[in-house]
């Protein structure tokens, strides 16, 4: 083909997937998109660090990715919300003009029955009412459209695409059945130059001028395009006044497309044909509809921003991506369709967001934890012996597998149930800003040393939740309090205890990792917690005569969150709260 010889989608081989937003408040953005447009979180992932091909921008620290939309990512256009911990706002540029969303004016239900549920998210009155409740100002335009701003200042254009003031007939029902996202509009410096990348190099097809896309501008220097066969939102390119250069600011996003052909194959072919410059090259400058390269007009209409790479997601297949840039700096993510379909497949719990854990890490406007040198020193002093430090996700995965199965016969649990003979490992989750964690650090180390000395197979670890945030997701519902002690085996938490009580910690350890010789754990006050739950009172700091005490089983003593003892948590308002010390 001539104009689109390298295009990945000239024969319906690609489709629009999502637009990437960088947001300063994930909760605020989800509230805006959910309340105003009826969208919902589809998939949420937390990451300890970025990589060159990720969508979070030039940030290498902890971040999260949340897919938000109306339905399956594999069938409807979605938004990818990237949140960088510690970044509350981004300088807006002139790259993204707006996103056009369906908005039906007039009645969409019978007066007696009210609004039919399938139409409600798209009814203009509902959208404006929700925006008003959030304090979002509405800008009305002469053509009847309305613009709303997200919490980060991104513009959303409400467009009535039913061509009817009373959207009650087949047009309304047809509109609801199609993609509610109508158009992604980008500013460019020179339209003719921009089309060389999007139309000629990528293979998108310009929509005929007589068939206006809902929400498309009537400005003369504009064009809207789609990949052939793609019924999703159109891409609109609009030339900035006076040929001004595009300012990407800090909030620049990225448009993603799924491609049936391998992104690596497309990348290599564009390079081979000279349509893009290699990774590391400067962007070819915009020159009145042509591009200058090395002093001569060349064919290159963009560059490879990141060479093809396979991105991994735990429990999902790798997804091959290649990142390109047009001469205006607009980023394009080519995603292998097969891998993306498997990644986007719904799995239970994939959309859950642990807001408490995010707040604990300083997310969404909460104050980040401040390390206390004295508390950090306490943890450092307790490690280096039997207690091993976990410093990475890989080390956490290895520790979570547990030690090899025991050859000894099963021991009965104190509640009468049969216990597995397979031993566990124990991981202490702590924060260097948590005084209760520091209080129990040395005691945990001493108990671990005593148990290992008496032949216990369990290995004992500790992990800073700021350094290894994956630890927060290991507990059902998310880990929201520290210190927490997790008994792990086969990658699962099989028992847990939260708190800094020396007595309850000893009971927990002697339950999940009982010493084979029947000896107990001697506490600092001389009391002894036995392997089968017996507790003896000491005299003058020494162990004395035994007195039968309550059993140390999981059911009777409530190993888990224990009221009245020391731990650090995050309250509903986001303030970090310290519980009382255990007496």
* Segment among 218-222, 366-370, 537-541 with least mean pLDDT: 537-541
Q: Is the pLDDT of residue 537 over 90?
A: no
pLDDT at site 476: 78
Residue 246, class by beta-carbon neighbours within 10 Å (0-12 exposed, 13-18 middle, 19+ buried)?
Answer: buried
Out of 266-270, 477-481, 503-507, pick the least confident: 477-481
Residue 478: the pLDDT is: 79
pLDDT of amino acid 569: 55
Residue-wise pLDDT tens digits, 32-48: 999 999 899 998 888 87
Per-residue tokens: 474: 């290991």
CA 307-309-312 angle, 5° bins: 155
The band of 381, judged by pLDDT with boundaries at 50, 70 and 90, is: low
397-409 average pLDDT score:
69
Residue-wise burial string across 412-427, b where 16 or more C-beta atoms lie within 10 A, e elsewhere: eebeeeeeeeebbbbb
Q: Are 126 and 138 in contact (CB under 8 A)?
A: no
The pLDDT assigned to 78 comes to 92
Residue 19 confidence (pLDDT): 92
Q: Which residues have C-beta within 8 Å of that of residue 513, sequence separation ≥ 6? A: 423, 424, 426, 451, 456, 457, 458, 487
Burial of 376 (0-12, 13-18, 19+ CB in 10 A): middle
Between the alpha carbon of residue 112 and those of residues 116, 311, 315, 372, 486, the distances in Å are 11, 52, 49, 63, 57
Q: Is residue 545 over pLDDT 60?
A: no
pLDDT per position as a tens digit, 109-158: 444 444 445 556 778 888 999 999 999 989 998 888 899 999 999 999 99
Q: How many Cα neighbours within 13 Å face the side chain of 468?
A: 20
The listed range with the strongest mean pLDDT (185-189, 303-307, 372-376, 551-555) is 185-189
With contact defined as beta carbons under 8 Å apart, do 104 and 123 qualify? yes
More confident residue, 176 or 370: 370
What does the pLDDT average to over 468-491?
86
Residue 370 — pLDDT band, cuts 50, 70, 90? low
Give yes or no for a cis peptide into 162 (omega within 30° of 0): no
pLDDT in tens, 491-527: 889 999 999 888 899 889 988 888 776 667 877 766 7
In the chain, the largest separation of any two C-alpha atoms, in whole Å, equals 96
Pull the structure tokens for residue 235: 């891409």
Reply yes or no on whether the pLDDT at 468 is more than 80: yes
Cα–Cα–Cα angle for 226, 231, 234, nearest 5°? 40
Domains and CATH numbers, the chain: 14-353 (3.10.180.10), 356-578 (3.40.30.10)
Taking the C-alpha atoms of residue 577 and residue 137, their distance in angstroms, rounded to an integer, is 36
d(CA 64, CA 361): 12
pLDDT over 90 at 564, yes or no: no
Give CA separation, 150 vs 121, 156, 247, in Å.
Answer: 17, 8, 20
Mean pLDDT of 262-274: 91
* DSSP string of 71-83, one letter each residue: S-TTTS-EEEEEE
The band of 94, judged by pLDDT with boundaries at 50, 70 and 90, is very high
Using the predicted structure, report yes or no on whether residue 422 has a pLDDT greater than 50.
yes
Q: Which pLDDT score is estimated for 122?
A: 78
pLDDT for residue 47: 81
Summary mean pLDDT of the chain: 75
Instruction: State residue 3's pLDDT score.
Output: 40
> Over pLDDT 70: what percentage of the chain?
71
Which has the minimum average pLDDT: 347-361, 447-461, 525-539? Answer: 525-539
Q: Poorest-confidence range of 9-13, 84-88, 330-334, 551-555?
A: 551-555
Q: Specify the pLDDT at position 287.
A: 62
Angle at 530 between CA 525 and CA 531, to 5 degrees: 145
């Amino acid at each position: 083909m001539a104009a689109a010889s390298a295009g990945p989608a000239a024969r319906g081989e690609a489709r629009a997937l999502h637009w990437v937003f960088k947001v300063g408040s994930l909760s605020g953005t989800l509230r805006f998109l959910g309340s105003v447009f009826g969208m919902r979180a589809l998939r949420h992932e937390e990451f300890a660090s970025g990589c060159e091909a990720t969508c979070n921008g030039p940030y290498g620290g902890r971040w999260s990715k949340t897919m938000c939309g109306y339905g399956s990512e594999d069938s409807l256009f979605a938004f990818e919300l990237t949140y960088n911990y510690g970044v509350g706002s981004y300088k807006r540029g002139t790259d993204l003009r707006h996103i056009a969303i369906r908005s039906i004016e007039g009645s969409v239900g019978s007066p007696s029955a009210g609004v039919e549920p399938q139409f409600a998210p798209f009814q203009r009155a509902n959208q404006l009412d929700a925006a008003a409740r959030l304090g979002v100002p509405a800008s009305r335009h002469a053509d009847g459209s309305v613009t709303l701003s997200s919490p980060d200042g991104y513009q959303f254009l409400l467009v009535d695409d039913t061509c009817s003031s009373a959207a009650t007939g087949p047009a309304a029902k047809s509109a609801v059945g199609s993609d509610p996202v109508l158009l992604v509009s980008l500013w460019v410096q020179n339209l003719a130059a921009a089309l060389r990348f999007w139309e000629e190099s990528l293979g998108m097809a310009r929509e005929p001028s007589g068939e206006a896309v809902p929400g498309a501008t009537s400005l003369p220097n504009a064009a809207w395009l789609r990949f052939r066969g793609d019924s999703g939102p159109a891409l609109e390119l609009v030339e900035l006044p006076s040929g001004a250069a595009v300012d990407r600011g800090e909030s620049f996003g990225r448009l993603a497309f799924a491609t049936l052909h391998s992104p690596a194959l497309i990348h290599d072919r564009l390079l081979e044909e000279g349509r893009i410059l290699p990774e590391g090259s400067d962007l070819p400058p915009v020159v009145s509809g042509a591009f200058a390269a090395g002093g001569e007009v060349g064919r290159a209409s963009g560059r490879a921003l990141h060479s093809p790479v396979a991105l991994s997601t735990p429990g999902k297949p790798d997804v091959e991506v290649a990142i390109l840039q047009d001469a205006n700096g607009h980023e394009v993510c080519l995603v292998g369709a097969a891998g993306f379909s498997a990644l986007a497949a719904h799995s239970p719990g994939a959309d859950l967001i642990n807001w408490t854990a995010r707040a604990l890490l300083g997310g969404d406007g909460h104050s980040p934890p401040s390390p206390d040198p004295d508390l950090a020193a306490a943890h450092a002093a307790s490690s280096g012996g039997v207690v091993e430090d976990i410093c990475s996700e890989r080390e956490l995965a290895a520790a979570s597998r547990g030690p090899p199965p025991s050859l000894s016969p099963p021991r009965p649990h104190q509640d009468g149930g049969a216990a597995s003979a397979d031993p566990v490992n124990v991981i202490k989750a702590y924060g260097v800003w948590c005084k209760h964690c520091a209080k129990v650090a040395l005691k945990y180390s001493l108990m671990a040393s005593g148990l290992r000395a008496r032949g216990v197979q369990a290995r004992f670890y500790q992990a800073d939740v700021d350094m290894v945030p994956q630890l927060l997701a290991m507990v059902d519902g998310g880990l929201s309090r520290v210190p927490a002690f997790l008994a792990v085996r086969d990658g699962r938490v099989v028992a847990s205890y939260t708190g800094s009580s020396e007595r309850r910690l000893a009971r927990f350890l002697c339950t999940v990792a009982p010493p084979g010789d029947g000896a107990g754990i001697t506490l600092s006050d001389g009391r002894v917690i036995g392997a089968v739950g017996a507790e003896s009172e000491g005299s003058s700091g020494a162990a004395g005569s035994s007195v039968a005490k309550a059993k140390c089983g999981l059911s009777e003593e409530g190993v888990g969150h224990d009221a009245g003892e020391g731990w650090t948590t995050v309250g509903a308002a986001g303030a970090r709260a310290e519980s009382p010390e255990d007496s």
